[in-house]
């Protein structure tokens, strides 16, 4: 398919401000040191006219048509390698636990692919058939441990409210406080939040807790969530039945040394990606009365610029700005959409793997600066506040 996009000059300039062209600013700043990365991202935002933002959904909509062929191929090249490595791990338990655990990390990426299939089924974007999506999503959920209907509902809630600073901001997202909210806490609640946002808790213990415990509990009590809560309880019973049977058939060491390490590695990868995609330094946060959906999608979601292999292993979820513009675009169309429309690269909040490591220090949203800051910067700037 040829590039589908409205006609406008890619070297655009905000009409109300006299500035060099966007391309000129970008080229100039990219030749400078890494310390100018924040300035580059800022200039990308302020030079983006509202009319360009309004054109983006129409560009992306052209790619939301599911492909039975691509969906089938992705199922095969995700499930078959996963099952092959899983079986190899099982037979290697008595040979080398170290080798088993190494394979677990590799297989975790194929589980990520399976989870992205489940994720797309929850958006009803994977195939054009709702029953097929629900059946595929349920099968995926028995492997990922992520409850299909309950998680899909919370995730769709996240899409509709991404970046809103309100009391439900933690539904489908990692909880975040503003500087003012953190300042208002007492000593013990500040300490609790600081421990929660620490790297060992957020990226190691947190994923394990989220998959094995949190995802088993119907903790969301909003109106209309009754069916999803009941679906979660049914999913829990189904998981128990499946894995008790699997333990009786293969031995419970297969679950401890094969599937559990895969789940842990998968959880760490998934939480890391989700964190980087929404809690980068120049993300978008706003109170409900000032929130804008398109800005939340473009500025509040990153384009995680990774090698092609890792985009493939993670189901193209790194093109997260496109996914948030239109969650009906299947994952197997995201890369094509991005590459065929240069404007989507120009407006993206791009971040490389090395740059993403700095996100570990992002702890609070500073409304004054409109960016994420570290605890160190908070105590330096606001110690006397």
SS (H, E, C) the chain: CCCCCCCCCCCCCCCCCCCCCHHHHHHHHHCCCHHHHHHHHHHHHHCCCHHHHHHHHHHHHCCCCCCHHHHHHHHHHHHHHHHHHHHHHHHHCCCCHHHHHHHHHHHHHHHHHHHHHHHHHHCCCCCCCHHHHHHHHHHHHHHHCCCHHHHHHHHHHHHHHCCECCCCCCCCCCCCEEHHHHHCCCHHHHHHHHHHCCHHHHHHHHHHHHHHCHHHCCCCCCCCCHHHHHHHHHHHHHHHHHHHHHHHHHCHHHHHHHHHHHHHHHHHHHHHHHHHHHCCCCCCCECHHHCCHHHHHHCCCEEEECCHHHHHHCCCCCEHHHHHHCCCCCHHHHHHHHHHCHHHHHCCEEEEHHHHHHHHHCCEEECCCCEEECHHHHHHHHCCC
Of the candidates 280, 278, 316, the one whose C-alpha atom is nearest the C-alpha of residue 297 is 278
Strand 302-305 versus strand 349-352 pairing type: parallel
With 60 as the cut, is the pLDDT of residue 205 above it? yes
Confidence at 30, pLDDT banded by 50, 70, 90: very low
Query: How many CB atoms within 10 Å of residue 17?
Result: 8
Q: What is the predicted pLDDT for the residue at 48?
A: 61
Burial category of 187 from C-beta neighbours within 10 Å (exposed 0-12, middle 13-18, buried 19 and up): exposed
- pLDDT (average), residues 163-181: 95
Measured CA to CA in angstroms, residue 5 lies from 52, 271, 274, 318 at distances of: 11, 33, 28, 21
Share of the chain above pLDDT 70, in %: 87
More confident position, 42 or 234: 234
Of the candidates 358, 353, 360, 356, the one whose C-alpha atom is nearest the C-alpha of residue 197 is 360
- pLDDT (average), residues 209-238: 96
CA angle 216, 89, 215 (to 5 degrees): 10
Q: What is the predicted pLDDT for the residue at 24?
A: 43
Burial category of 216 from C-beta neighbours within 10 Å (exposed 0-12, middle 13-18, buried 19 and up): middle
Burial category of 165 from C-beta neighbours within 10 Å (exposed 0-12, middle 13-18, buried 19 and up): middle
Quote the CA–CA distance of 316 and 62 in Å, as a whole number: 18
Q: What is the predicted pLDDT for the residue at 19?
A: 35
Quote the CA–CA distance of 277 and 16 in Å, as a whole number: 31
Residue burial 67-96, b: 16+ Cβ < 10 Å; e: rest: eeeebeebbeebbeebeebbeebbebbeee
Tens of pLDDT, residues 287-316: 999 999 999 999 999 999 999 999 999 999
With 70 as the cut, is the pLDDT of residue 3 above it? no
Q: What is the mean pLDDT of the chain?
A: 89
More confident position, 1 or 306: 306
Quote the CA–CA distance of 6 and 2 in Å, as a whole number: 13
Q: What is the predicted pLDDT for the residue at 383?
A: 73
């Amino acid at each position: 398919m040829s590039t589908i996009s409205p006609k406008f000059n890619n070297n655009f300039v905000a009409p109300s401000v006299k500035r060099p062209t966007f391309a000129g600013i970008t080229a100039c700043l990219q030749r400078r040191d890494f310390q100018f990365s924040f300035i580059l991202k800022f200039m990308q935002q302020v030079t983006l006219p509202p009319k360009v933002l309004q054109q983006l959904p129409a560009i992306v909509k052209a790619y939301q048509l599911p492909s039975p062929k691509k969906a089938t191929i992705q199922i095969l090249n995700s499930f078959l390698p996963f099952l092959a490595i899983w079986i190899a791990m099982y037979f290697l338990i008595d040979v080398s636990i170290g080798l088993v655990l190494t394979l677990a990390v590799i297989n975790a990426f194929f589980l990520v692919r399976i989870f992205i299939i489940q994720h797309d089924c929850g958006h009803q974007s994977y195939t054009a058939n709702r029953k097929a999506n629900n059946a595929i999503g349920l099968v995926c959920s028995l492997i990922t441990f992520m409850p299909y209907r309950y998680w899909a509902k919370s995730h769709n809630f996240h899409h509709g409210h991404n970046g809103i600073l309100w009391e439900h901001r933690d539904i489908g997202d990692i909880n975040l406080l503003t500087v003012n909210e953190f300042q208002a806490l007492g000593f013990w609640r500040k300490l609790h939040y600081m421990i929660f946002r620490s790297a060992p808790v957020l990226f190691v213990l947190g994923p394990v807790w989220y998959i094995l415990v949190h995802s088993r509990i119907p903790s969301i009590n909003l109106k209309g969530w009754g069916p999803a809560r009941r679906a979660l309880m049914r999913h829990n019973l189904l998981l128990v039945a499946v894995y008790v049977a699997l333990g009786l058939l293969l031995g419970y060491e297969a679950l401890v040394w094969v599937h559990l390490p895969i789940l842990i590695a998968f959880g760490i990868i998934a939480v890391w990606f989700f964190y980087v995609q929404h809690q980068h330094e120049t993300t978008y946060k706003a109170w409900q009365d000032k929130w804008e959906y398109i800005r939340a999608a473009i500025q509040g979601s990153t384009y995680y610029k990774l090698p092609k292999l890792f985009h493939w292993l993670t189901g193209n979820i790194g093109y997260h700005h496109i996914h948030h513009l239109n969650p009906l675009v299947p994952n197997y169309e995201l890369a094509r959409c991005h590459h065929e429309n240069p404007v989507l690269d120009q407006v993206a909040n791009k971040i490389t793997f090395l740059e993403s490591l700095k996100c570990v220090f992002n702890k609070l949203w500073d409304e004054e600066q409109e960016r994420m800051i570290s605890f160190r910067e908070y105590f330096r700037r606001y110690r006397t506040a």
